[in-house]
Structure 1
Amino acid sequence: MPNSISSPLLSQSDSIESKQPPSLNDTIEQCIGDFSWAQFLQVFLVSLAFLFDAQQTFISIFTDVEPTWHCNTQLEDESCNSFSDICQLSKNSWSWDFPVHTSIISEWGLECASSLVKGLPASSFFMGCLAGGFILATLADSSLGRKNTLLLSCLIMSLSSLLTIFSTNVWIYSVLRFVNGFGRATIGACVIVLSTELVGKKWRGQVGTIGFVCFALGFLSLPAIAYINRGSSWRALYFWTSTPTLLYSILIPFFVRESPRWLFVRGRTEEAVLIVKSIASTNQNISGISFSDLCFERETRNVDHLYSAIKILVEKKWACRRLSAVIVTGFGIGTVYYGMPLGLGNLSFNLYLSVTLNALSELPSSIIIFFIVGKLNRRSSLLGFTILSGICSVMCLMADKVSVMLQIGLELVSFLSACTACGLMLIYTIELFPTCVRNSAVSMYRQAIVLGATISPVLVAAGRKNGFLSFGVFGLLIGICGLFVVSLPETRDRPISDTMDEEEYKFACDNIS
C-alpha cells in the first residue's frame, strides 16, 4: 500500500491524481473501448455456458417428478380412488399413467419413500454447488484463470450429467448430482467476469445481460426437450442436455480468449498484448499505442494458491465490508429467486401456468437490466427492486382473499423484481472489486444466493400450513437484506480497477473529493 494514500496530502486530490501513472484500465479502454464484432462473438460464446447451466439447474423438475397414477378399474377395487393414499393400496390395484422409466420416482419405486429420500438428489445438487463454490471459486483468480476455470466447470458438469444416465439407484444418482452441482458452481461467475473484462466500461453492463438471456433460454428449453421426449426415459433428458455441453467444452480451448486484464495482473504481458491486439484489430487508435511502454505495477500480493484471493478480501477492511454487504444482499435475493417458484404450489393459481409465467419472467428481467444499467445508479436501483419484491411477496398473502389473479400478479412482480435485482447485483459486484480478486468476490455472491436457496424449501414446506412462513418471510428477508446496499459505494460510469492498491487509491480519492 503506497504511503501517499494514507498521507495528509490526499486532501489535495488534484495533485495526487496528476502524479498517478497511466493505469492498465486506461490503456485497455483505449484499445478495446469500442464494441466490435470480435468482442461480441467472444461474449456470445462465453455466455452460451449459461444456457447449459440453466438446464442442469432445473432438469430435476422433470426427471425427479412424482408421476400421476390411476386405479386399475378392471380389478373393481372399491378402496382405490383418486383420493386414496397410494402407499395404502396393493400394487395390483393401481398403475402409473406413463411408463415407469419416465421418472426416477416410478422407476426405482420411491413413491412411498420419505420426503428426505425423494428430495435427496435436489439437495445433493445444491450441496455440490456450495462445495464447488468454496473449492473452485478462487481458481479463476489464481492459477487457472477465467477461461480454464470455465472449461473445467463445463467438463465436470457435462461428464457427470452424461454418467448420470447409468445410475442404477437413487444413491448413485444423488452422488452424481452432487458432482454436477460441484462443477457448475463457478460457471456463472466465470461467464460474467470474463464477458465484462473483454469489453470497455461503456458496454460492461449491457454484455452481462447476454448471459442472463442465455440462462432464461436454457430454462425455457427444458419444457420443450421434455415434451419432445415425453414417454421416454428420464435418462433421455440427461443425454440431450449433456451432449451439447460436452461439445461446447471442446470448443472453449480453441475459440474463447482469456481475459487480458487477468493476464496482465498475473504478469503474462506478452499473452495479454496479443489478445488485446486481436480484439482491437479493427480499432484505428491501437496503432498509436506502445505496449512496451505500458506503465503497470503488478499486484504486490501474490494470488497464487486456492484461498489467497479470499484472504486478501478479508484482510482489507474496506473490501471485507463490501463483501459482507454483497453476501447479505445475495442471501436475501436467493431466498426469493429460488423460493418463489418452489412455493407456487402453495398458491391457488394453476401450477403449470404459474411455473411457465415465472420462467418467462427471466426474459423481461434481462431487458430491464439492459436498459437501466447505463442510466440509473446501482444502489438506488437495487434498493428499489428489493423493496418492491419484498412488499409484493408479503401482499401475496392478503391478495388470496381478494382475487386469485391479483395474487399471481403480485407474485410475478415480486419474482421479476428479484430476478432483476439478482442480475444488477452481479454487475455491481464486478464493479466493486478489482481484477485480482473479482472472480472470487462474484463467486461468494453466488454462494450467498445458493445458501438462500437451501433454506427456501424448508420455508415453502412450513408455508403449507402457515402462509406467512413462506411468502411473508421471503418478503421480509429480501427487503431487509436489500438495505445493506446503502453501505456500498456507487460505481456507475466508474472505471474498474485491476489491483487492490489501485482500488484503494480510487476509494480514498472518492472519499475526499
Structure 2
Amino acid sequence: MYKLSSTGTEVLSKSMREIFTTLGAFLYYCIGYMILPGIAYTMREWRTLLIILSSITVVYIPLWWFIPESPRWLHAQGRLEEAEVILREAARKNRVTAPEVIFKDDELYASSPSTQKHSMVDVVRTSNIRCVTLVCLFLWMAVNIGYYGLSLNTSNLSGNPYFNCFLSALTEVPAYVVSAVLLRKCPRRPLFSTFLLIGGGMLFVIQAVPKDLPGLSTGLEMVGKFGFTISFTVVYIYTAEIYPTVVRSAGVGMCSSAARIGTIAAPYIVYLGSINKFLPYVIMGSLTVASSAINLILPETFRKELPETVEQMQKCKGLCRKEPIIGYNAEKDRNTQSIIYEVKL
C-alpha cells in the first residue's frame, strides 16, 4: 500500500494526488475489508481462510508489466531516456503535445548516476531529514496502533462480531470520501492533528459511558474509527509530500515499517482489556493525543511543489517556520506534469 501511495504521489499532479490515494487506493481497500467478514463467516476454519485470502493476491502479478515506473524517480536516478519514453507515451495517451526536448543538457548532467547516488542512509543523514524521519516514524506507529487497535477490538464489542467487523469497515467509506474533499482544501498539518484528536478523544469519552448503554459505546468507537481512518489516509499523502523524490520510497518505506510495529503491538494492547477494559483505550488515546501535538513540528506541504532533492526540503521547524523550498524549478515541473498528469476523466 505504501509503495502504491508513494508512486501515485510522484506520477500524479496535485489535483489528482488526493483522489488517487483516498478514492482510488484506500476505498478499494475498504471494500475488501467489508467483504472479509462475509468470507470469514462462510469459512470458519482459519487455515482455509488464510489460503483463500492469500491466493487472491496472485491476480496482481501481471500488473508488473502494465504499471510504468515513476518518471520523477527515473529522473532522480539519471535514467533520462527511460523517463522520456514514459512521458511521451503518457502524452500520446492523454492527447497532449510533448515538447521536442523534455530534458536539457544541464539536467542530464545534474541527474546523471555519477552525481546523484542515494541510499537508505540519506533518510537520516542531515539533522533536518533526521528530525522529519523520527517524527514520521512515531506518527505512523501511533496511527496504526489506534487504527488496528479499534479494528481488532470489534470482537470485544457487544453484538455479533462479524457484523461489528462489517460495521467498522463500513465506517471507513464516508471517512475516505470526506478525506478526499478535505485534502483538496485543507492544509495537511492541522487536518492531521484535528482528526487525531477526534480519534483519541473518543477513546477517552468511551470510558465514561455506562455499562447499560453498549450501543452508545459502539457508536463512539465507530466515530473514533472514523477519525483514525482519515488520519491514516492523511499520513500517507503527507509523508510522501514531505520527502524528496530521491529518498521518497526509502522514507515512506521506513515509516511503513514503523507502522507495522504499531500493527504488531495493537493486538497486545487490545489484550490488556482482559486486565482492565479501559486500559487499551487509555494507551491508544494517550499516544494519539501526543501524536497530534508532535505533528506540529513537521513542515506544511499543502499546495507546494514536491521536492526533488534533499536540499529542497522545507526545514522541520514547526509552526514558526514557513520557508518555501529553494532551488526548485516549478516551471519545469509544471511543463512535465502537463504531459503526464492531465488525465481525461
SS of alignment partner, residue 168 of structure 2: helix
Which amino acid in 1 is paired with 2:279? Answer: L
Residues 469, 292 of structure 1: alpha-carbon distance in 2 compared, 3 angstrom cutoff: closer
2:53 pairs with one of 224, 229, 241: 241
TM-score normalized by structure 2? 0.84
The offset of 1:413, in angstroms, is 0.6
Within the alignment, does 1:263 sit opposite 2:74 as a pair?
A: yes
Within the alignment, does 1:448 sit opposite 2:295 as a pair?
A: no
Residues 283, 347 of structure 1: alpha-carbon distance in 2 compared, 3 angstrom cutoff: closer
SS of alignment partner, residue 467 of structure 1: coil
Whole-angstrom CA distance in 1 between matches of 2:39 and 2:314: 49
Correspondences of 1:78-477 after superposition (within 5 Å): 188-209=1-22, 210-227=24-41, 230=43, 234-249=46-61, 251-283=62-94, 286-288=97-99, 290-293=101-104, 295-296=106-107, 297-298=110-111, 300-303=115-118, 308-309=119-120, 311-401=121-211, 403-477=213-287
Residues 350, 244 of structure 1: alpha-carbon distance in 2 compared, 3 angstrom cutoff: closer
Measured against aligned partners, the alpha-carbon deviations of 1:297-348 in whole angstroms (never above 9, x if no partner) come to: 2284512xxxx22x11211111111111111111211111111122334444
Residues 401, 253 of structure 1: alpha-carbon distance in 2 compared, 3 angstrom cutoff: closer
Whole-angstrom CA distance in 2 between matches of 1:317 and 1:449: 22
Which amino acid in 2 is paired with 1:273? Answer: E
Give RMSD over aligned pairs. Answer: 2.5
Q: How many residues align?
A: 317
Q: Which moved more, 1:405-414 or 1:217-226?
A: 217-226
Residues 460, 247 of structure 1: alpha-carbon distance in 2 compared, 3 angstrom cutoff: closer
**2:140–2:255: 8 Å Cα contact kept in structure 1?**
yes
Within the alignment, does 1:500 sit opposite 2:310 as a pair?
A: yes
**2:313–2:325: 8 Å Cα contact kept in structure 1?**
no
Whole-angstrom CA distance in 2 between matches of 1:312 and 1:208: 26
Measured against aligned partners, the alpha-carbon deviations of 1:118-171 in whole angstroms (never above 9, x if no partner) come to: xxxxxxxxxxxxxxxxxxxxxxxxxxxxxxxxxxxxxxxxxxxxxxxxxxxxxx
**2:241–2:301: 8 Å Cα contact kept in structure 1?**
yes
Which amino acid in 1 is paired with 2:290? Answer: I
Which is higher, the Rg of structure 1 or of structure 2?
A: 1
SS of alignment partner, residue 478 of structure 1: helix
SS of alignment partner, residue 278 of structure 2: helix
Residues 260, 340 of structure 1: alpha-carbon distance in 2 compared, 3 angstrom cutoff: same
Whole-angstrom CA distance in 2 between matches of 1:295 and 1:319: 27
What corresponds to 1:32 in structure 2? none
Whole-angstrom CA distance in 2 between matches of 1:442 and 1:226: 32
Measured against aligned partners, the alpha-carbon deviations of 1:169-202 in whole angstroms (never above 9, x if no partner) come to: xxxxxxxxxxxxxxxxxxx221111122221122
Residues 301, 269 of structure 1: alpha-carbon distance in 2 compared, 3 angstrom cutoff: closer
Whole-angstrom CA distance in 2 between matches of 1:383 and 1:402: 32
Which amino acid in 2 is paired with 1:208? Answer: T
**2:78–2:116: 8 Å Cα contact kept in structure 1?**
no
Residues 431, 511 of structure 1: alpha-carbon distance in 2 compared, 3 angstrom cutoff: closer
**2:157–2:164: 8 Å Cα contact kept in structure 1?**
no
Residues 511, 247 of structure 1: alpha-carbon distance in 2 compared, 3 angstrom cutoff: closer
SS of alignment partner, residue 291 of structure 1: coil
**2:206–2:220: 8 Å Cα contact kept in structure 1?**
yes
Which amino acid in 1 is paired with 2:255? Answer: Y
**1:339–1:460: 8 Å Cα contact kept in structure 2?**
yes
Which amino acid in 2 is paired with 1:237? Answer: L
SS of alignment partner, residue 334 of structure 1: helix
**2:171–2:226: 8 Å Cα contact kept in structure 1?**
yes
Q: Which moved more, 1:425-434 or 1:218-227?
A: 218-227
TM-score normalized by structure 1? 0.57
The offset of 1:237, in angstroms, is 3.4
Percentage of pairs with the same residue: 27
**1:392–1:414: 8 Å Cα contact kept in structure 2?**
yes
Correspondences of 1:474-493 after superposition (within 5 Å): 474-493=284-303
Q: Which moved more, 1:285-294 or 1:420-429?
A: 285-294
**1:388–1:417: 8 Å Cα contact kept in structure 2?**
yes
Measured against aligned partners, the alpha-carbon deviations of 1:247-306 in whole angstroms (never above 9, x if no partner) come to: 321x12321111111111111111100101111225565344522426532284512xxx
What corresponds to 2:343 in structure 1? none
Work out which structure has the larger RCO, using CA pairs closer than 8 Å and 6 or more positions apart in sequence.
2
Whole-angstrom CA distance in 1 between matches of 2:84 and 2:135: 35
Whole-angstrom CA distance in 1 between matches of 2:282 and 2:55: 41
**1:343–1:470: 8 Å Cα contact kept in structure 2?**
no
Whole-angstrom CA distance in 1 between matches of 2:39 and 2:138: 36
The offset of 1:465, in angstroms, is 2.9
SS of alignment partner, residue 184 of structure 2: coil
Which amino acid in 2 is paired with 1:247? Answer: V
**1:378–1:491: 8 Å Cα contact kept in structure 2?**
yes
Which amino acid in 2 is paired with 1:356? Answer: F
